[in-house]
Amino acid sequence: MRRRGPWLLSLAALGGLVVLVLARSERPASPGGTWMSRAGVEPRFVAVDGVRVRYVRRGSGPPVVLVHGIASSIYTWAEVLPALAHSHDVIALDLPGFGGSDIPADFSAERYPALLRSFLDALGLARVTLVGHSLGGAVASAFAAAEPSRLERLVLVDAAGFNLSPADRPWLLRVLGWPGAAAVLDALPVRRRLLDLGLRQVFHDDARVTPERVEEYLAPLARPGASGFMARLLGNGNAMGLPAAVGRIRAPTLIVWGRQDTWVPIRDADRFQSAIPGARKAVIEACGHVPQEERPQELIALLRDFLSPTETAEAQRSRDAEDE
Protein backbone atom coordinates (compact mmCIF):
# COMPACT_ATOMS: atom_id res chain seq x y z
CA MET A 1 0.00 0.00 0.00
CA ARG A 2 1.43 3.35 -1.04
CA ARG A 3 2.06 5.74 1.80
CA ARG A 4 0.55 9.19 1.53
CA GLY A 5 3.20 11.81 1.12
CA PRO A 6 3.61 14.64 3.62
CA TRP A 7 2.44 17.12 0.98
CA LEU A 8 -0.94 15.39 0.72
CA LEU A 9 -1.41 15.41 4.48
CA SER A 10 -0.41 19.07 4.59
CA LEU A 11 -2.91 19.90 1.85
CA ALA A 12 -5.68 18.11 3.73
CA ALA A 13 -4.76 19.93 6.92
CA LEU A 14 -4.75 23.26 5.12
CA GLY A 15 -8.16 22.54 3.62
CA GLY A 16 -9.52 21.64 7.02
CA LEU A 17 -8.11 24.84 8.47
CA VAL A 18 -9.75 26.94 5.73
CA VAL A 19 -13.12 25.30 6.36
CA LEU A 20 -12.74 25.86 10.10
CA VAL A 21 -11.93 29.54 9.61
CA LEU A 22 -14.90 29.96 7.31
CA ALA A 23 -17.18 28.16 9.72
CA ARG A 24 -16.15 30.40 12.60
CA SER A 25 -16.68 33.59 10.57
CA GLU A 26 -19.96 32.63 8.87
CA ARG A 27 -22.85 33.94 10.95
CA PRO A 28 -26.31 32.37 10.74
CA ALA A 29 -28.67 34.18 8.38
CA SER A 30 -30.91 36.79 10.00
CA PRO A 31 -34.69 36.49 9.48
CA GLY A 32 -34.86 39.49 7.11
CA GLY A 33 -38.02 41.42 6.31
CA THR A 34 -37.20 44.56 8.31
CA TRP A 35 -37.84 46.67 5.19
CA MET A 36 -41.55 45.83 5.12
CA SER A 37 -42.56 48.20 7.91
CA ARG A 38 -40.72 51.04 6.16
CA ALA A 39 -42.55 50.25 2.93
CA GLY A 40 -45.90 50.00 4.70
CA VAL A 41 -46.61 46.41 3.69
CA GLU A 42 -47.00 43.06 5.37
CA PRO A 43 -46.69 39.56 3.92
CA ARG A 44 -49.75 37.81 2.54
CA PHE A 45 -50.07 34.29 1.19
CA VAL A 46 -52.21 32.57 -1.43
CA ALA A 47 -52.27 28.98 -2.71
CA VAL A 48 -51.54 28.92 -6.45
CA ASP A 49 -51.37 25.66 -8.41
CA GLY A 50 -50.51 23.78 -5.24
CA VAL A 51 -47.78 26.23 -4.23
CA ARG A 52 -48.00 28.71 -1.36
CA VAL A 53 -47.00 32.08 -2.79
CA ARG A 54 -46.01 35.08 -0.68
CA TYR A 55 -46.88 38.59 -1.86
CA VAL A 56 -47.38 42.14 -0.63
CA ARG A 57 -49.92 44.69 -1.77
CA ARG A 58 -50.36 48.40 -1.28
CA GLY A 59 -52.24 51.31 -2.85
CA SER A 60 -55.30 51.69 -5.05
CA GLY A 61 -55.87 52.36 -8.73
CA PRO A 62 -54.84 50.48 -11.86
CA PRO A 63 -53.07 47.24 -10.86
CA VAL A 64 -49.30 46.91 -11.31
CA VAL A 65 -47.61 43.57 -10.62
CA LEU A 66 -43.88 43.48 -9.86
CA VAL A 67 -41.91 40.30 -10.65
CA HIS A 68 -38.37 39.91 -9.28
CA GLY A 69 -35.31 38.23 -10.76
CA ILE A 70 -33.34 35.09 -9.94
CA ALA A 71 -32.05 34.67 -6.37
CA SER A 72 -34.11 37.72 -5.40
CA SER A 73 -37.50 38.41 -3.79
CA ILE A 74 -40.10 41.13 -3.23
CA TYR A 75 -37.39 42.96 -1.25
CA THR A 76 -35.91 44.21 -4.53
CA TRP A 77 -38.96 46.52 -4.91
CA ALA A 78 -38.67 48.00 -1.39
CA GLU A 79 -38.32 51.58 -2.66
CA VAL A 80 -40.29 51.35 -5.89
CA LEU A 81 -43.44 49.80 -4.43
CA PRO A 82 -44.41 52.59 -1.96
CA ALA A 83 -43.79 55.29 -4.57
CA LEU A 84 -46.04 53.65 -7.18
CA ALA A 85 -48.72 52.90 -4.56
CA HIS A 86 -49.68 56.59 -4.46
CA SER A 87 -51.57 56.11 -7.72
CA HIS A 88 -51.71 52.35 -8.33
CA ASP A 89 -52.69 49.06 -6.74
CA VAL A 90 -49.18 47.58 -6.50
CA ILE A 91 -48.62 43.86 -5.94
CA ALA A 92 -45.21 42.19 -5.66
CA LEU A 93 -44.91 38.41 -5.44
CA ASP A 94 -42.16 35.96 -4.61
CA LEU A 95 -41.78 33.45 -7.40
CA PRO A 96 -41.88 29.83 -6.16
CA GLY A 97 -38.48 28.82 -4.86
CA PHE A 98 -37.59 32.36 -3.76
CA GLY A 99 -38.34 34.82 -1.00
CA GLY A 100 -41.02 33.48 1.31
CA SER A 101 -42.86 31.33 -1.23
CA ASP A 102 -42.76 27.54 -1.14
CA ILE A 103 -39.75 25.70 -2.54
CA PRO A 104 -41.34 23.03 -4.75
CA ALA A 105 -39.52 19.73 -5.09
CA ASP A 106 -40.39 19.45 -8.78
CA PHE A 107 -40.52 22.77 -10.62
CA SER A 108 -39.09 24.27 -13.79
CA ALA A 109 -38.97 27.80 -15.15
CA GLU A 110 -41.42 26.77 -17.87
CA ARG A 111 -44.16 26.78 -15.20
CA TYR A 112 -43.69 30.39 -14.13
CA PRO A 113 -45.89 32.10 -16.78
CA ALA A 114 -48.82 29.76 -16.11
CA LEU A 115 -48.38 30.18 -12.37
CA LEU A 116 -48.41 33.96 -12.84
CA ARG A 117 -51.74 33.63 -14.66
CA SER A 118 -53.16 31.57 -11.80
CA PHE A 119 -51.84 34.11 -9.30
CA LEU A 120 -53.68 36.93 -11.08
CA ASP A 121 -56.83 34.79 -11.17
CA ALA A 122 -56.55 34.10 -7.44
CA LEU A 123 -56.37 37.84 -6.73
CA GLY A 124 -59.19 38.64 -9.15
CA LEU A 125 -56.98 40.69 -11.47
CA ALA A 126 -58.26 40.47 -15.04
CA ARG A 127 -55.90 42.98 -16.67
CA VAL A 128 -52.64 44.36 -15.26
CA THR A 129 -49.39 46.12 -15.97
CA LEU A 130 -46.42 43.82 -15.47
CA VAL A 131 -42.99 45.05 -14.38
CA GLY A 132 -40.42 42.26 -14.63
CA HIS A 133 -36.76 42.34 -13.69
CA SER A 134 -34.16 39.86 -14.98
CA LEU A 135 -35.75 36.39 -14.69
CA GLY A 136 -38.99 38.19 -13.85
CA GLY A 137 -38.64 40.03 -17.15
CA ALA A 138 -38.46 36.70 -18.97
CA VAL A 139 -41.56 35.49 -17.12
CA ALA A 140 -43.40 38.73 -17.89
CA SER A 141 -42.38 38.54 -21.57
CA ALA A 142 -43.59 34.96 -21.94
CA PHE A 143 -46.84 35.86 -20.19
CA ALA A 144 -47.37 38.95 -22.36
CA ALA A 145 -46.90 36.90 -25.52
CA ALA A 146 -49.28 34.15 -24.38
CA GLU A 147 -51.94 36.30 -22.66
CA PRO A 148 -52.26 39.57 -24.62
CA SER A 149 -55.77 40.27 -23.29
CA ARG A 150 -54.44 40.31 -19.71
CA LEU A 151 -51.79 42.99 -20.33
CA GLU A 152 -52.33 46.73 -20.02
CA ARG A 153 -48.63 47.58 -20.27
CA LEU A 154 -45.29 45.82 -19.94
CA VAL A 155 -42.06 47.06 -18.37
CA LEU A 156 -38.87 45.04 -18.79
CA VAL A 157 -36.03 45.98 -16.44
CA ASP A 158 -32.66 44.46 -17.44
CA ALA A 159 -34.70 41.48 -18.52
CA ALA A 160 -33.55 37.98 -19.32
CA GLY A 161 -34.92 36.43 -22.48
CA PHE A 162 -32.10 36.48 -25.02
CA ASN A 163 -29.55 34.97 -22.63
CA LEU A 164 -31.35 31.96 -21.15
CA SER A 165 -29.07 29.26 -22.54
CA PRO A 166 -26.38 28.21 -20.04
CA ALA A 167 -23.56 29.44 -22.28
CA ASP A 168 -24.99 32.98 -22.26
CA ARG A 169 -25.39 33.26 -18.49
CA PRO A 170 -23.05 35.08 -16.11
CA TRP A 171 -20.32 32.74 -14.91
CA LEU A 172 -21.65 32.75 -11.34
CA LEU A 173 -25.03 31.40 -12.49
CA ARG A 174 -23.25 28.76 -14.56
CA VAL A 175 -21.43 27.66 -11.40
CA LEU A 176 -24.66 27.58 -9.37
CA GLY A 177 -26.29 25.46 -12.07
CA TRP A 178 -23.60 22.78 -11.70
CA PRO A 179 -25.21 19.56 -10.33
CA GLY A 180 -22.91 19.50 -7.31
CA ALA A 181 -23.30 23.19 -6.43
CA ALA A 182 -26.13 22.67 -3.94
CA ALA A 183 -24.19 20.05 -1.97
CA VAL A 184 -21.17 22.35 -1.75
CA LEU A 185 -23.26 25.33 -0.59
CA ASP A 186 -25.04 23.21 1.99
CA ALA A 187 -21.81 21.63 3.27
CA LEU A 188 -19.50 24.65 3.38
CA PRO A 189 -20.17 27.96 5.15
CA VAL A 190 -19.58 30.10 2.07
CA ARG A 191 -23.11 31.21 1.14
CA ARG A 192 -22.77 34.75 2.51
CA ARG A 193 -19.44 35.28 0.77
CA LEU A 194 -20.78 33.97 -2.52
CA LEU A 195 -23.82 36.21 -2.20
CA ASP A 196 -21.65 39.23 -1.45
CA LEU A 197 -19.64 38.45 -4.58
CA GLY A 198 -22.79 38.16 -6.66
CA LEU A 199 -24.19 41.47 -5.42
CA ARG A 200 -20.94 43.23 -6.22
CA GLN A 201 -21.29 41.92 -9.76
CA VAL A 202 -24.84 43.18 -10.26
CA PHE A 203 -24.31 46.60 -8.65
CA HIS A 204 -22.21 49.20 -10.41
CA ASP A 205 -21.55 50.98 -7.10
CA ASP A 206 -20.16 48.61 -4.44
CA ALA A 207 -21.30 51.04 -1.73
CA ARG A 208 -24.84 49.82 -2.42
CA VAL A 209 -23.89 46.35 -1.17
CA THR A 210 -24.76 47.15 2.44
CA PRO A 211 -24.92 44.66 5.32
CA GLU A 212 -28.72 45.02 5.40
CA ARG A 213 -28.99 44.25 1.70
CA VAL A 214 -26.79 41.18 2.05
CA GLU A 215 -28.92 39.87 4.92
CA GLU A 216 -32.21 40.49 3.09
CA TYR A 217 -30.94 38.48 0.12
CA LEU A 218 -29.34 35.81 2.27
CA ALA A 219 -32.34 35.00 4.48
CA PRO A 220 -34.46 33.25 1.82
CA LEU A 221 -31.46 31.72 0.07
CA ALA A 222 -30.37 30.06 3.32
CA ARG A 223 -33.66 28.16 3.68
CA PRO A 224 -33.46 24.36 3.50
CA GLY A 225 -33.82 23.28 -0.10
CA ALA A 226 -33.11 26.71 -1.60
CA SER A 227 -29.69 25.76 -3.00
CA GLY A 228 -31.03 22.61 -4.58
CA PHE A 229 -33.94 24.47 -6.13
CA MET A 230 -31.59 27.04 -7.66
CA ALA A 231 -29.35 24.33 -9.09
CA ARG A 232 -32.32 22.48 -10.61
CA LEU A 233 -33.82 25.67 -12.04
CA LEU A 234 -30.55 26.65 -13.69
CA GLY A 235 -29.69 23.12 -14.70
CA ASN A 236 -32.94 22.56 -16.60
CA GLY A 237 -32.14 25.33 -19.07
CA ASN A 238 -35.81 26.00 -19.82
CA ALA A 239 -36.37 29.07 -21.97
CA MET A 240 -40.19 29.59 -21.64
CA GLY A 241 -40.42 29.82 -25.43
CA LEU A 242 -38.04 32.79 -25.47
CA PRO A 243 -36.68 34.64 -27.32
CA ALA A 244 -39.04 33.65 -30.16
CA ALA A 245 -42.12 34.65 -28.12
CA VAL A 246 -40.86 38.21 -27.66
CA GLY A 247 -41.92 39.07 -31.20
CA ARG A 248 -45.55 38.29 -30.33
CA ILE A 249 -45.77 40.94 -27.61
CA ARG A 250 -48.20 43.72 -28.54
CA ALA A 251 -48.69 45.53 -25.21
CA PRO A 252 -47.22 49.03 -24.85
CA THR A 253 -43.70 48.25 -23.62
CA LEU A 254 -41.01 50.17 -21.80
CA ILE A 255 -37.50 48.68 -21.71
CA VAL A 256 -35.23 49.98 -18.94
CA TRP A 257 -31.55 49.07 -18.67
CA GLY A 258 -28.59 49.94 -16.49
CA ARG A 259 -25.75 51.17 -18.69
CA GLN A 260 -23.15 49.18 -16.71
CA ASP A 261 -25.10 45.91 -16.47
CA THR A 262 -22.51 43.13 -16.65
CA TRP A 263 -25.01 40.29 -16.18
CA VAL A 264 -27.36 41.03 -19.06
CA PRO A 265 -25.54 43.27 -21.57
CA ILE A 266 -27.24 46.38 -22.87
CA ARG A 267 -27.30 44.94 -26.39
CA ASP A 268 -30.19 42.78 -25.17
CA ALA A 269 -32.20 45.96 -24.57
CA ASP A 270 -31.83 46.68 -28.28
CA ARG A 271 -32.92 43.13 -29.09
CA PHE A 272 -36.10 43.54 -27.05
CA GLN A 273 -36.80 46.92 -28.61
CA SER A 274 -36.31 45.59 -32.14
CA ALA A 275 -38.58 42.61 -31.51
CA ILE A 276 -41.49 44.43 -29.79
CA PRO A 277 -43.43 46.85 -32.04
CA GLY A 278 -43.45 50.39 -30.67
CA ALA A 279 -41.30 49.55 -27.64
CA ARG A 280 -39.60 52.46 -25.90
CA LYS A 281 -36.11 52.16 -24.39
CA ALA A 282 -34.56 54.10 -21.52
CA VAL A 283 -30.99 53.70 -20.24
CA ILE A 284 -29.99 54.64 -16.69
CA GLU A 285 -26.42 55.82 -16.34
CA ALA A 286 -24.00 54.73 -13.59
CA CYS A 287 -26.21 51.73 -12.95
CA GLY A 288 -25.73 47.98 -13.06
CA HIS A 289 -28.21 45.10 -13.27
CA VAL A 290 -30.66 46.26 -10.56
CA PRO A 291 -31.95 49.80 -11.28
CA GLN A 292 -34.80 49.34 -8.80
CA GLU A 293 -32.22 49.16 -6.00
CA GLU A 294 -29.29 51.15 -7.36
CA ARG A 295 -31.16 54.02 -9.01
CA PRO A 296 -34.73 53.71 -7.68
CA GLN A 297 -35.69 57.37 -8.15
CA GLU A 298 -34.73 57.32 -11.83
CA LEU A 299 -36.71 54.12 -12.37
CA ILE A 300 -39.71 55.48 -10.44
CA ALA A 301 -39.76 58.60 -12.63
CA LEU A 302 -39.68 56.46 -15.79
CA LEU A 303 -42.47 54.22 -14.50
CA ARG A 304 -44.69 57.12 -13.48
CA ASP A 305 -44.32 58.68 -16.91
CA PHE A 306 -44.97 55.41 -18.73
CA LEU A 307 -47.97 54.46 -16.58
CA SER A 308 -49.75 57.76 -17.15
CA PRO A 309 -53.00 57.69 -19.19
CA THR A 310 -51.40 59.96 -21.81
CA GLU A 311 -48.68 57.42 -22.50
CA THR A 312 -51.27 54.67 -22.88
CA ALA A 313 -53.26 56.63 -25.46
CA GLU A 314 -50.15 57.56 -27.44
CA ALA A 315 -48.87 53.99 -27.41
CA GLN A 316 -52.25 52.70 -28.55
CA ARG A 317 -52.37 55.14 -31.49
CA SER A 318 -48.83 54.10 -32.45
CA ARG A 319 -49.76 50.42 -32.48
CA ASP A 320 -52.95 51.09 -34.43
CA ALA A 321 -50.98 53.00 -37.07
CA GLU A 322 -48.47 50.14 -37.38
CA ASP A 323 -51.28 47.59 -37.76
CA GLU A 324 -52.75 49.62 -40.59
CATH number at residue 273: 3.40.50.1820
Long-range contacts made by residues 203-210, C-beta under 8 angstroms, separation at least 24?
203/288, 203/289, 203/290, 203/293, 203/294, 204/258, 204/260, 204/286, 204/287, 204/288, 204/294, 205/286, 205/288, 205/294, 208/293, 208/294
Q: Pick the most confident of 138-142, 227-231, 316-320.
A: 138-142
Residue 21 has pLDDT above 90, yes or no: no
CA distance 115 to 108: 11
CA distance 206 to 227: 25
CA 66, 69, 70 angle in degrees (round to 5)?
A: 150
Q: Is 3 a domain residue? A: no
Lowest mean pLDDT among 50-54, 113-117, 275-279, 312-316: 312-316
- Give the total number of structural domains in the chain: 1
Q: Is 14 a domain residue? A: no
In this prediction the pTM is: 0.86
Kind and range of the H or E run holding 183 = helix 181-187
Average pLDDT value over all residues in the chain: 87
CA distance 176 to 234: 7
Q: Is 50 a domain residue? A: yes
pLDDT score, position 101:
98
- Kindly state the average pLDDT of the residues 248-252: 98
More confident residue, 168 or 98: 98
**In what side-by-side order are the strands of the sheet with 280-284?**
44-48, 51-58, 89-93, 63-67, 128-133, 151-157, 253-258, 280-284
pLDDT score, position 10:
38
> How many Å separate Cα 212 from the centre of its chain?
18
**pLDDT tens, residue by residue, 215-231:** 999 999 999 999 999 98
**pLDDT tens, residue by residue, 265-307:** 999 999 999 999 999 999 999 999 999 999 999 999 999 999 9
Range of 301's domain?
A: 34-168+240-323
Residue 239 has pLDDT above 70, yes or no: yes
Q: Is 74 a domain residue? A: yes
**pLDDT tens, residue by residue, 151-205:** 999 999 999 999 988 888 888 888 888 777 777 777 777 888 989 999 999 999 9
